[in-house]
Amino acid sequence: MAIQSVGIVGAGQMGNGIAHVFALAGYDVLMTDVSTEAMEKAMSLIDRNLERQLRGDKITQSEKDQAFGRIKTTPTLTDLGQCDLIIEAATEKEAIKHKIFEELLPHLKPETILTSNTSSISITRLASRTDRPHRFMGFHFMNPVPVMQLVELIRGIATDQETYQTLLQVVEQIGKTSATAEDFPAFIVNRILIPMINEAVYTLYEGVGSVKSIDQSMKLGANWPMGPLELGDFIGLDTCLAIMNVLHDGLADTKYRPCPLLVKYVEAGWLGRKSGRGFYDYSGETPVPTR
């Protein structure tokens, strides 16, 4: 089926980036969020990011204006019902995702494809609570969406071939590269990445190295562009913890046990960049290690 209109649930870090790339690729985008303020911030950020692309000669003024004009917002979730494709990019809590899809279902077109940008939750389980498990997939973008090239496509056990092929074409249309992952906890990228960050937290917790020495070691010794603790702060420590819990619960292997220090930081509300403090303090001009 041809996809022309895209509904995005969530105007946060991921949702606004997804709206940006779809609008730039020529799709009509309708974005919703429970917070009107979040939608206003998202539109402002999209405008700034498009402007950055314009200054870098990646897009023209006409392309910027047209893309921004294709994005509309609404405070009403059910307004998304007539979209061809819906991408849920809400918080990484399964109960919230189920509630969103449940509210949407009575308002959807029969042919609408439902997807979730979840970074770790079972696609099969999310799909099973809808009326269209055959038209349901995981559509996992990387952060920041306008910059990162990969999209993980995750088929649930009931996903049909037509839905899969349609989303393959959509990924190509928005100028990204797809990697097909099986529906196991955390899929490919986060199955590998988040335990590495968790191990870096254990290295800090056990006193093997300081925040600075751990991040510096991985940047200069393994050629990482960003240290693992710095990356954890960028992703959000609450998100890292949620993914570790999904891995630990879903695979029942002690190697996925979340580090107690990671748990403590999240309990303290030290979630990384978005809260102003994590393994670094972001209140000054440059981030300062907190340990």
Please spell the DSSP secondary structure of 167-234, one letter per residue.
HHHHHHHTT-EEEEE-SSTTTTHHHHHHHHHHHHHHHHHTTSS-HHHHHHHHHHHS--SS-HHHHHHH
pLDDT at 92: 85
Residue 31 backbone dihedrals phi, psi, to 5 degrees = -115, 140
Domain shared by 75 and 134, yes or no: yes
Residues 137 and 20 in one domain: yes
127 appears as a binding residue in the annotation: no
15 is an annotated ligand-binding site residue: yes
Does residue 126 share a domain with residue 103? yes
Question: Residue 11, annotated ligand binder?
Answer: yes
Q: Are residues 207 and 176 in the same domain?
A: no
143 is in an annotated binding site: yes
Among 182, 205, 227, residue at a domain's last position: 182
The reply to whether 58 and 101 lie within a common domain is yes
State yes or no: 117 annotated in a binding site.
no
Domain boundary among 164, 182, 200: 182
97 is in an annotated binding site: yes
172/67 same-domain check: yes
Same domain assignment for residues 41 and 172: yes
- Total domains present in the chain: 2
Annotated catalytic residues are: 119, 140, 152, 190
Structural domain of residue 36, as residue ranges? 5-182
* Same domain assignment for residues 32 and 100: yes
Q: Please, which residues bridge with residue 177 across strands? A: 150
CATH number of residue 284's parent domain: 1.10.1040.10
Asked whether residue 225 falls in the same domain as residue 176, the answer is no
- What per-residue confidence (pLDDT) applies to 187? 95
Residue 53 CA, chain-centre distance (Å), reads 21
The last residue of a domain, from among 182, 217, 243: 182
Place of tokens 């751990």: 214
Q: Profile the chain (291 residues) by mean pLDDT over runs of 10 residues.
A: 94 96 98 96 97 96 97 97 97 93 97 95 96 98 94 97 97 97 94 98 98 98 97 95 94 97 98 96 96 89
CB–CB of 137/110 below 8 Å?
no
DSSP state of 277: B
171 and 56, same structural domain?
yes
Cα gap 135→139, rounded to integer Å: 12
Tokens 């509210």 correspond to 103
